[in-house]
Amino acid sequence: MGTTKLHKLCYQPGVVMYVDDDNICRDMEVSPEVSVLHIGEQKKPSKTNPPLLFSLDKRKNYVFSGIKELVIEEGTCGVFVANTMFPNVKRVTSHNRQYLSSDRMLITIRDDTKRMLLHVFDLESTAQIDLRWISQIGTKAFTGCKSVRLVNCDCVECCHDDAFADSAFAEAAYNHGLKIAGGIVFDVDETAEEIVFPDDKKIFAIQEGLKFYKAKRVVLKDVGLIPILSHYHLPETLVIDDPNFRNLDKLSPIELNVSIKRIETTDRVKHFSSYDGILYNKTQIELLLCPKGRSGETVIPEGVRTIKQQAFRRSHIVSVKMPDSLRTIEDQAFEYCKQLKHVDFGHGLKRIGSSFYSNVFAHSGLEEVVVPQQVTEIGYAAFYDCSLKKVTLNEGLVAIGEDAFAINELEEITIPESVSSIGESALRRIPKVYTKRYIDGLASAITEPKVFAENSYCVELNIAEHEFIVPAHVISIETVETMILKALDGEEDKGNTLYACSISISERHDTAVSAYKKTQDQKTKEYLKRSGKGIAFRLLREGKAKDLIGFIQLDVLSKKALSELLEKAADKPDVSAYIVQMMQNKKRTKLEL
């Protein structure tokens, strides 16, 4: 690569800047008598005078020790330097809207309001450094500074990596595993087993990139620090040592922090306690919070009566054993526990969720559930969208809430005779449902709302050995119920014509096909003959070769329809072979007659 050609610029006597074709200052010569350096032209930039970008190569170790003041003019679009280039600057004067005038500090304005400290100059000075109104601190902002007095840091929200590197601040000793300046945590002892954070009134910000996780535990004297700490990879054990901690919401920012596997409390905490790394109320009657990073098996101790809202939500536990003392599981207690495979409900729990508490195990990884005999109620969306492949419901169960088992991988489910109430869509997407009697609301439980009509399918409903094929999306639930009840009473045999209730033609057809395969009902066959051509051509368009072959074998297509279908399916030899075979069968049958 060739050397970039540089051009000379002289904005002021005694100063020569060398800029490239992009108007970036790469080098500079300054006479010893120059004490004030102007960066950029005083006039506003234009097409003929584009703004200067002042960016000296930090690797060349430039030092302009005679400069006492930097003046940032309108004609610059950026100043990129190092503290050590201007070690004796006592004043930065800005005529540029991107920068502020300040004693010994280079401060830029971000997003119109945020003030970011880029550099501190006058390096030998031990005077205090005032960060009033500063919200961000840049990388290596304090490099070379001899001062260790930092004041008015309460507005600082962000401190970038290595902000305090190679400064007098960095020479301080660790205190409980931390180095803190002016309320800003800027270093951590990576060999410490325990890190102790003081009262949050002394902590305003934490430098980015600190490796707290190398310690075994972190101790908080005030939970007010949690919103700041929640963005960091923390040790596995969080110890709360805050006597004023009484509001559980204070812990909400760490709910998604998977690095924490245990929460412990000290004797100074008056309103909470811990057991086996899980947070409880002081009497341990209520289980409040399981760390999200916890994995493996969890055994809840006897005496616990309530698992509170979202207590295990998004945790990585694989199994949980509940005590016989347990009575209530609140909203979303195990929601999104994707690793959860096994639950032992114990012998005391009577409700898994309720009409008040919903989504208890929703979106979890459960594959099999055995609901104990003493459980009388399964609440709203209790097992919604899990990975269930098998569910065992025992006699004694009375109520199943809305969406309780919806959207799973279940192939079938058997409803106990004791169930007297079942909610809307409670069993949706389960292809086979068995029950000994009709339960009020059963039709709406096995179907799903019309808004999901694009998911066309049907349900095999077996009631006391009566089999019904029900479309998943129906025009009227009341009509479906009436038809099922009349069929069960023997008044009318309408159970096999439930396909007529579907809201879509394609689902109506598919349901009729399934019903005919099961029952060989003559009325359904006549319907399929009338609709056969349309069904066959739709299956061909949708590329459902297997379904089309199965439909052809029902022998409901006329010879003319078969002939037209053969022409359309010319590029599908497997389908064509069945069409030809059916046409030959029809011809043979005609000859025999």
- Residues 133-155: pLDDT tens digits? 999 999 999 999 999 999 999 99
3-state secondary structure of 433: strand
3-state secondary structure of 314: coil
CA 315, CA 127: separation in Å to the nearest integer? 50
Residue 1 is predicted with a pLDDT of 41
Tell whether the model's pLDDT for residue 4 goes beyond 80.
Answer: no
Please list, residue by residue across 92-119, b when 16 or more beta carbons sit within 10 angstroms of its beta carbon and e when fewer do.
bbbebeebbebebbbbbeeeeeebbbbb
Tell whether the model's pLDDT for residue 200 goes beyond 80.
Answer: no
Residue 257 is predicted with a pLDDT of 77
131 contacts 151 by C-beta, under 8 angstroms:
yes
Task: Summarize the confidence of residues 529-538 as an average pLDDT.
Answer: 93
Structure token pair of residue 142 = 């304090």
Q: In terms of DSSP bridges, do strands 52-55 and 36-39 run parallel, antiparallel, or are they unpaired?
A: unpaired
Q: Which of 430, 426, 476 is nearest to 450 (CA)?
A: 476
- Condensed to tens digits (0 to 9), the pLDDT of residues 279-332 reads 999 999 999 999 999 999 999 999 999 999 999 999 999 999 999 999 999 999
Tell whether the model's pLDDT for residue 269 goes beyond 90.
Answer: yes
- 101-167-36 Cα angle (round to 5): 35
288 contacts 274 by C-beta, under 8 angstroms:
no
Tell whether the model's pLDDT for residue 461 goes beyond 60.
Answer: yes
3-state secondary structure of 478: helix
Tell me the pTM: 0.83
CA 178, CA 180: separation in Å to the nearest integer? 6
Query: Which residues have CB under 8 Å from 22's CB, separation 6+?
Result: 53
415 contacts 437 by C-beta, under 8 angstroms:
no
Percent of the chain at pLDDT > 90 equals 80
